[in-house]
Amino acid sequence: MGSRKEPTGTRPFGARFTFPLLLGSTLNPINSSMIATGLVGIAADFHTGPGQTATLVSVLYLCSAVMQPTMGKLSTLFGPRRVFLIGIGILFLGGLTGAAAPAFGFLLVSRALIGIGTSAAYPTAMALVRRRADGLGTGIPSRVLGNFSIASQVATVFGLPIGGVLAGAFGWRALFLVNIPLAIIVFAFAARGIARDPIPATDRGNVLKAIDLPGIALFAAGIVALLLFLSDLTDPAWWVLIVAALLLTTLLLWERRVDRPLIDVRMLARNSPLQRTYLRQTLVGLGIYTTLYGASQWMEQGAGLSPFTVGLILLPLSAASIVLARINSNKGWIRYPLIAGAGTLVLTGAAILLLHSGSNVLVIGLVGTTLLLGVTNGFSGFANQATLYLQAPAEDIAVAAGLYRTFAYVGAIFSASLIGIVFGPRITDDGFHRLGWVIIGIGVVSLLLTVLDRRIPVLAHPDEPAP
């Protein structure tokens, strides 16, 4: 089947094109967070313990970390629209499997399918946006990239309350069932609003070679081993780290010798600015998740606040993030927001040092964590994403975007272990203050990495005057 030409109208990035991409890209963070509200009900129905039900959270993280760049690779071979639609189809199967699950094992399969299916959305969406922008010569679509950043933030924040409403009103199976109508909506709009891909140029006989199955297997095994090690650093299994290092080293050696690798390590080795973008993404993610989850636990167990109060305190974080991301994407600023975001992370850690269990709730919420962290999140999200868009070659944007999400997962999973190490067996003011010093350290490293990197552009459109 031939390809449909990109539209030449006045709104190449109108709602018909962007709506399914934005909604599709939110399905991974929504499913990541809303499952937490159904774990108790699942454990009661299937007579499992908290450790076993927690695997429903980790299996999606692991599948997503592995499949994001893998789906990006498949999109370069078979077309981003095709892979996007296939991913949504896999999501549909995952939702159906979970909603009708007769045993706990089916839920694990469902979460794996959901992780795999939703992992196709973001890397293929970035490839589709890049293809349309390059085809029409519009330059970097800052507002569109800002929308992706905002959509991800909204999905992450509202995943828990959405899950709470669904689980409370209809039971935990609704957390899986909701993916079915969402998948149908996204598939229908994407099929109508996104131009068809060209016919794949890869010969059928060379498909397996082009896919690079050994590279995918090595990447999957190495990333899973690394994430398993990072997930429990209170009692580290050093042999797992050694296995991860060996697998990832073997991956690098393998990718250097194949013609069409999963990860173009030669390009990545030459592209030091992109390497630093990945490192910044990991550091910012680590700082934000460590602060968010650490402060939430301290506010409940250390300061004695109710979960409802903690939820209200954290709402301004989302509001600040959305407003700043919108302003930033409209202006196309990159370098200075990255510096401001890292600097605000340092201030967030410093503010934590001033807090204690008797602090005023308003001070805890508006000064100690929420607004400061919202500035970091709002400034860093779009700016890092736009930097990736500029630094990654057009032909590698899908895999590069997938790796971008993988590094974010590394930061998120590492944060859970870091919080356990810092707090120890009990959550106290002293532990919270130690957490503050850790946040300051992460912020300082991120700030230095940004200030000293002269390759970060000032603007998304370099031909425009600097602010």
Confidence of residue 187 (pLDDT cuts 50, 70, 90): very high
pTM of the model: 0.84
Confidence of residue 362 (pLDDT cuts 50, 70, 90): low
pLDDT digits over 421-467, tens only?
A: 888 888 888 998 999 999 999 999 999 999 999 889 888 764 443 33
Output 265 or 4, whichever has higher pLDDT: 265
What was the pLDDT predicted at 7?
52
| Beta carbons within 8 Å of 364's beta carbon, 6+ residues apart | 299, 303, 313, 355
Least confident range of 135-144, 193-202, 305-314: 305-314
Residues 69 and 219: beta-carbon distance below 8 Å: yes
**Tokens read off for 173:** 């199976």
CATH of 267-467, one of 3.20.20.140, 1.10.10.410, 2.102.10.10, 1.20.1250.20: 1.20.1250.20
What was the pLDDT predicted at 463?
44
**Mean pLDDT score of the chain, rounded to an integer?**
85
Output 380 or 311, whichever has higher pLDDT: 380
CATH code reported for the domain at 1-197: 1.20.1250.20
Sign, CA dihedral 367-368-372-374, equals negative
Tell me the CA distances in angstroms from 337 to 55, 282, 387, 407, one per residue in order: 37, 17, 12, 20
What does the alpha-carbon distance between residue 149 and residue 377 come to, in Å, rounded to a whole number? 10
Beta carbons within 10 angstroms of residue 308's beta carbon: 8
Output 212 or 465, whichever has higher pLDDT: 212
Amino acid identity, position 99: A
pLDDT digits over 147-176, tens only?
A: 888 887 777 667 767 887 888 888 899 999
Buried/exposed 380-419: b ≥16 CB within 10 Å, e otherwise: bbbbbbbbbbbbbeeebbbbbbbbbbbbbbbbbbbbbbbb
Confidence of residue 188 (pLDDT cuts 50, 70, 90): very high
pLDDT digits over 221-265, tens only?
A: 999 999 889 888 878 899 999 999 999 999 999 999 888 898 888
**Tokens read off for 208:** 């397996």
Query: Which residue in this structure is represented by tokens 């390759």?
Result: 455
